[in-house]
Amino acid sequence: MSADRHRAGRGARPASHRRRAGFRRRRPLLSLFLSAFFLVGVCAATGIAWEPRTVADARARSGPGPADTLPGTPGIGPVPTATGPVATGPVASAPQSPGGQAPDPKAQGAGSGDAVRPTGALPFDMPQPAVLRSGAAGKKLVFAHYFTPYPLSLDNVGADADYYTRNYLKPDGENGKHERYGGLLRDRPLPVPPQAGDWELVNLRQEVRTARAAGIDGFTLDLLSLTGKNRERSNLLMEAARSVDPAFKVMLMPDMTSLGTDDPVVLADLLAELGKAPSAHRLPDGRLVVSPFKAEEKSVAWWTGVMDALKSRHGIRTAFVPLFLDFGAHSGEFEPISYGFSEWGSRSYVGQESSTRDVRRAHAAGKIWMQPVSVQDARPNQGIYDEAGNTATLRATWNRAIEDGADWVQLTTWNDYSEGSQFAPSLHNGHAYLDLSSYYLTRFKTGGWPKIVRDTLYLSSRTQFAAADPSGGQSLVMSLRGGSAAARDTVEVLSFLTAPASIRTTVGAAEDAHAAPAGVHSELLPLGPGVGAASVVRGGKAGARVELRYRVDRTVEVQDLQYYAATSGRS
């Protein structure tokens, strides 16, 4: 992703901090999940080597390099997978239909969707898609920002030796390209088994099912390039959405930091080609919705040229919903050509009050507003992060969308692992953030808070202290972005309870308990070395229990400031 997008929000990139040169050995946590991957099958989708700061290079590359596989490492235990809660041995391929394509159930929870969201995973009973898509709820749309460089798999290889493991998670991966900042990524998509047939399409269908099961209406598709693997994957995603669920829509989001054209006709032709797909998001009156990322990169006259070309060359009318990095500076000039507005938004739980002003400004101009909702943001290769405050940012941004009357929501992002901003099921977080988001999504769409019918706990913490100095070869470390909340070292127990109860907690060697009321309650505990866990106790009987699968260490070799999360709702 471009530097512009990595600076989106507030402030410029801080100066880097120099650290000791040379990488001695991999961090134990990386070795832990690399070893665990040896037990499971892995992902499937398409593959390129992606360096977010070098978009031109990413467009030019055709895929992962030759086999540079890590030696096998002894397994240490079961690893969650995207097709089920736990893999205890060799993972069989998902059920296949003739031609190697997975079945396409139309109803939530049917077929392979059962493994995506098992019964009892949530603290409430999720409404069926028909309920969330009809009446007033159907007008409140929720999209998730899909970033094509990071699908479920890059090469259809087992997780012990796939491209994520060999190159993106290793500090010295891709021939040492990312060693300066300790490796390109800190997390990855939750592994899936290798697929037969058209494995890229099969995996994209699974991502659509996962999003649909969470109540999401569609993806905003980040259009990064005119040609190459990202472009091909865009076509496949349109087909995956159509084949899984005709009601699941894909909003076209040309990325103006990376597309590489100054010709409005070229962009119009690209949008027209993708826009002819049945899954392309259109308004009820037939207008194609176009929502460019960093719309202010081009002038109003330029965008008018794009829309004129769409109409004259392809007969397509447009509903223009520009997404700005600076809404306040540009909304006035774009108002005459826009159906609605959006902004990339802040990734810290403080300073979210400005969204109230932005929504009011959009509505006063007669425009819809698409509110950004986020989990966190930590970018090793840019040397910046925001303090998310465990789940505080997720809850704050959702509450702003709800209370301020946003029309649409964009989860930023579904799967941009280079930002650490993913809602999609991942190795370190499982389904925790996506499951939690479904609670607020249901309130956003229906207008009423869902009834809590089963005790559920969400536990989150980092695996290292915010001030930890990595002892390996990482020379660029992350600093807080301007405007962020101050860094904190906390474990959060977020409880959803049917009735008051005691919550027993363990943080390493420290044991404690606190009283939690019925409903939603956040309790913060000091971070400490070791493993964290929490359980519900009511009437002397133990109930729902959650444990973080990754321990906290004081000494680390690679800086990792993402919050890890787990839920008692899944094994």
Handedness of CA 473, 476, 481, 486 (dihedral sign): positive
Mean pLDDT of 141-156: 98
Q: What is the pLDDT of residue 116?
A: 56
Q: Where are the alpha helices (DSSP H) in 153-198?
A: 163, 173-176
Conformation bin of residue 429: beta by default, left when phi > 0, alpha when psi is -120 to 50: alpha
The pLDDT score that the predictor gives to residue 117 is: 72
**E strand or H helix that includes residue 516:** strand 510-516
What amino acid is encoded at 289 in this protein? V
pLDDT tens profile 256-303: 999 989 999 999 999 999 999 999 999 999 999 999 999 999 999 999
Region 240-268: what's the mean pLDDT? 97
- Provide the pLDDT for residue 119: 79
Over range 7-14, report the average pLDDT.
35
Q: What integer pLDDT is reported at residue 118 of this predicted model?
A: 78
pLDDT band, residue 565 (cuts 50/70/90): very high
Residue 182: both structure tokens together: 């300790």
Range with the poorest average pLDDT among 45-54, 192-201, 400-409, 549-558:
45-54
Which comes out higher in pLDDT, residue 310 or 115?
310
- pLDDT of residue 165 exceeding 80: yes
Helix (H, G, I), strand (E, B) or coil at 213: helix
If you ran DSSP here, which 8-state letter would residue 426 be given? B
Sort residue 276 into left (φ over 0), alpha (ψ -120 to 50) or beta.
Answer: alpha
For 315, counting Cβ atoms within 10 Å of its Cβ (0-12 exposed, 13-18 middle, 19+ buried), the class is exposed
Closest CA to 474 of 127, 23, 12: 23
**Average pLDDT, integer, range 135-158:** 97
Q: How far is CA 327 from CA 146, 276, 345, 381, 485, in A?
A: 22, 30, 9, 26, 22
Q: What is the pLDDT of residues 355-399, one digit of tens each?
A: 899 999 999 999 999 999 999 999 999 999 999 999 999 999 999
Instruction: Give Dmax (Cα) for the chain.
Output: 72
Q: What is the mean pLDDT of the chain?
A: 84
Give the number of residues written for the chain: 571
Q: How confident is the model at residue 161 (pLDDT cuts 50, 70, 90)?
A: very high
Mean pLDDT of 30-58: 33
Q: What is the pLDDT of residue 571?
A: 81
Instruction: Say which residues have a Cβ less than 8 Å from residue 262's Cβ, sequence separation at least 6.
Output: none
How far are the Cα atoms of 84, 224, 379, 538 from residue 236, in angstroms, in the given order? 24, 15, 28, 49
User: Beta 218-223 vs 249-254: how paired, if at all?
Assistant: parallel
* Secondary structure E strands in 50-195: 79-81, 84-87, 141-146
* 282 φ, ψ (degrees, to nearest 5): -125, 155
> Is the separation of the CB atoms in 342 and 370 below 8 Å?
yes
**pLDDT(44) > 80:** no
The pLDDT-based confidence of 12 (bands split at 50, 70, 90) is: very low
Q: Would the pLDDT of 2 be above 80?
A: no
Checking if the pLDDT of 155 tops 90, the result is yes
564: part of which helix (H) or strand (E)?
strand 564-567
Mean predicted confidence (pLDDT) in 480-499:
97
CB 429 within 8 A of CB 190: no
- Residue 27: predicted pLDDT: 37
Tell me how far apart the alpha carbons of residues 420 and 187 are, in angstroms, rounded to a whole number: 7
With CA atoms as reference, report the closest residue to 19 among 378, 377, 383: 383
Conformation bin of residue 156: beta by default, left when phi > 0, alpha when psi is -120 to 50: left
- Tokens 């120099």 locate to 18
Q: How far apart are CA 268 and CA 258, in angstroms?
A: 16
pLDDT at position 42 over 60: no
Residue of 77 and 426 predicted with greater confidence = 426
Span 202-226, pLDDT tens digits? 999 999 999 999 999 999 999 999 9
Position 8 confidence tier, pLDDT thresholds 50, 70, 90: very low
Asked if residue 489 lies in contact with residue 526, where contact means CB atoms within 8 angstroms, the answer is yes
- First-to-last C-alpha distance (Å) of the chain: 34
pLDDT at 98 over 70: no
Q: How confident is the model at residue 311 (pLDDT cuts 50, 70, 90)?
A: very high
User: What's the predicted TM-score (pTM) here?
Assistant: 0.83
Inter-residue contact 238 to 275 (CB < 8 Å): no
Q: Picking from 106-110, 347-351, 539-543, which range would have the lowest pLDDT averaged per residue?
A: 106-110
Asked whether the predicted pLDDT for residue 517 surpasses 60, the reply is yes
What is the DSSP track for 329-371? HHHHHHGGG-SEEEE---SSSSSTTHHHHHHHHHHHTT-EEEE
Q: Is the pLDDT of residue 472 over 60?
A: yes
Of the chain, the percentage scoring pLDDT greater than 90 comes to 77
pLDDT of 496 higher than 50: yes
Which pLDDT score is estimated for 20? Answer: 26
Query: Does 36 have pLDDT greater than 70?
Result: no
At 458 the pLDDT is 98
Residue 512: how many other CB atoms lie within 10 Å: 13
Tokens linked to 242: 């159509």
How do the residues of the chain divide into helix, strand and coil, expressed in percent and rounded to 5?
25, 20, 50
